[in-house]
């Protein structure tokens, strides 16, 4: 029953919370750039306005991919907050992302396609670390189930500092923040125009925004797991990590994909793999 409330809570409240976090993000970003910034509810105003606009589309199929994208995002998040198998959560998350990529490919527009290709690169860079984190959780707690990882009384961060650092590294990629905002970004104009979202306008773009809120909450939820032994600390750390992401976003210029892929994989192998190796010898040595 508890799981049911969590799932319902995620589906209903995640967009609200995600939107608020997004609003704060924009204010903090503005302050870092010595601007005043929009009101905290601006993301919601944006989405409502987008909803009222014409649904411009290149062909009649590509908008629909976003529905599937959102559906799998919800499934992924619901499984996570329902305490299910973390590996399956990540796989569903990948499927969701896949459908965004497929939608972009389906438009047959050059900017969109190159954004899709770069999004695939981002997935290639970030996924190994996410899955490796799940393996790390398993090695400490003996289960892949989120419910059991949360219930574990060990402080996971002490066992998995490297994995945590690696996860934070790829979090920037997953949130598509600078310097890893290769596939698309919130900035108005850039060499890719809007990359993967180029051909999505009006209500379709609103859908992508809402999905991004769900996504943010799910990713922050994964950060929470590292500190689940103490909920207050966990929430504070999670918010702090998000603040760091904003700081990094504002302090860095976009890098080339080669650097992203190499550095992310290095971080995965050295921080993640190294951590697991040491942990294995501590636990079984």
**HSE toward the beta carbon, residue 77, CA cutoff 13 A:** 30
Q: Examine residue 54 and tell whether it contacts other proteins (CB under 8 A).
A: yes
Q: Examine residue 158 and tell whether it contacts other proteins (CB under 8 A).
A: no
Count of residues in contact with other proteins, rule CB under 8 A: 69
- CB of 193: closest distance to other proteins in angstroms? 6
Q: Which of 27, 42, 51, 64 binds other proteins (CB under 8 A)?
A: 64
Q: Which of 27, 28, 32, 68 binds other proteins (CB under 8 A)?
A: 68
Interacting stretch for other proteins, rule CB under 8 A, among 139-147, 176-184, 206-214, 248-256? 139-147
Based on CB atoms, which residue is closest to other proteins, 37 or 257? 257
Q: Examine residue 52 and tell whether it contacts other proteins (CB under 8 A).
A: no
Q: H helices of 110-230, where?
A: 110-141, 146-151, 156-159, 161-174, 203-226
Tell me if residue 145 falls in helix, strand or coil.
strand
Region for residue 37 given its phi and psi (left: phi exceeds 0; alpha: psi -120 to 50; beta: otherwise): left
- What string marks each residue from 195 to 214 as x (binds other proteins by CB under 8 A) or -? ---xx---------------
Q: Using CB atoms within 10 A of its CB, is residue 29 exposed (0-12), middle (13-18) or buried (19+)?
A: middle
Give the total residue count for the chain: 285
Tell me if residue 136 falls in helix, strand or coil.
helix
Based on CB atoms, which residue is closest to other proteins, 109 or 216? 109
- CB of 257: closest distance to other proteins in angstroms? 9
Contact yes or no for 103/69 (Cβ under 8 A): yes
Q: What are phi and psi of 246, to 5 degrees?
A: -65, -45
- What is the rounded CA–CA span in Å between residue 183 and residue 113? 10
Interacting stretch for other proteins, rule CB under 8 A, among 35-43, 160-168, 177-185, 258-266? 258-266
Interacting stretch for other proteins, rule CB under 8 A, among 41-49, 130-138, 205-213, 225-233? 130-138
Q: Which of residues 2-41 bind other proteins (CB under 8 A)?
A: none
The Cβ of residue 56 has, within 10 Å, a number of other Cβ atoms equal to 13
Q: Examine residue 160 and tell whether it contacts other proteins (CB under 8 A).
A: no
Q: Examine residue 261 and tell whether it contacts other proteins (CB under 8 A).
A: yes
State yes or no: cis peptide before 111, omega within 30 of 0.
no
Q: Examine residue 174 and tell whether it contacts other proteins (CB under 8 A).
A: no
- CB of 149: closest distance to other proteins in angstroms? 13
Tell me if residue 85 falls in helix, strand or coil.
strand
* Angle (CA) 269 272 276, round 5°: 110
Q: Which of 17, 20, 40, 71 binds other proteins (CB under 8 A)?
A: 71
Return the exposure string of 87-103: e unless at least 16 CB atoms fall within 10 Å of the residue's CB, then b: bbbbbbbebbbbbbbeb
Q: Which of residues 103-122 bind other proteins (CB under 8 A)?
A: 104-114, 116-117, 120-121
Binding site for other proteins (CB under 8 A): 54-64, 67-68, 71-72, 75, 79, 84-85, 87-88, 91-92, 94-95, 98, 101-102, 104-114, 116-117, 120-121, 123-124, 127-128, 131-132, 134-135, 138-139, 144-145, 193, 198-199, 258, 261, 265, 268-269, 272-273, 276-277, 279-280
């Amino acid at each position: 029953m508890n799981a049911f409330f969590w799932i319902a809570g995620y589906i209903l409240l995640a967009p609200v919370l995600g939107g608020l976090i997004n609003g704060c993000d924009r204010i903090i970003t503005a302050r870092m750039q010595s601007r005043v910034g929009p009101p905290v509810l601006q993301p919601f105003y944006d989405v409502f306005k987008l909803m009222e606009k014409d649904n411009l589309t290149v062909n009649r199929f590509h908008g629909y991919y976003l529905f599937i994208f959102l559906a799998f995002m919800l499934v992924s998040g619901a499984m996570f907050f329902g305490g299910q198998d973390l590996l399956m959560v990540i796989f569903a998350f990948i499927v969701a992302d896949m459908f965004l990529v497929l939608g972009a490919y389906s438009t047959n527009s050059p900017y969109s396609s190159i954004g899709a290709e770069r999004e695939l690169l981002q997935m290639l860079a970030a996924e190994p670390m996410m899955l490796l984190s799940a393996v790390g959780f398993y090695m400490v707690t003996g289960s892949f189930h989120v419910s059991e990882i949360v219930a574990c009384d060990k402080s996971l961060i002490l066992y998995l500092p490297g994995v945590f650092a690696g996860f934070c590294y790829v979090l920037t990629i997953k949130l598509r923040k600078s310097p890893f905002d290769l596939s698309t970004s919130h900035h108005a104009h850039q060499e890719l125009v809007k990359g993967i979202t180029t051909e999505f306008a009006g209500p379709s773009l609103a859908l992508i925004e809402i999905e991004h809120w769900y996504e943010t909450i799910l990713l922050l939820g994964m950060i929470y797991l590292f500190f689940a032994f103490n909920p207050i600390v966990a929430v504070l750390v999670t918010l702090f990590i998000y603040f760091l992401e904003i700081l990094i976003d504002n302090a860095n210029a976009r890098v080339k994909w080669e650097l992203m892929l190499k550095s992310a994989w290095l971080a995965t192998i050295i921080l993640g793999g190294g951590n697991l190796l040491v942990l294995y010898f501590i636990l079984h040595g």
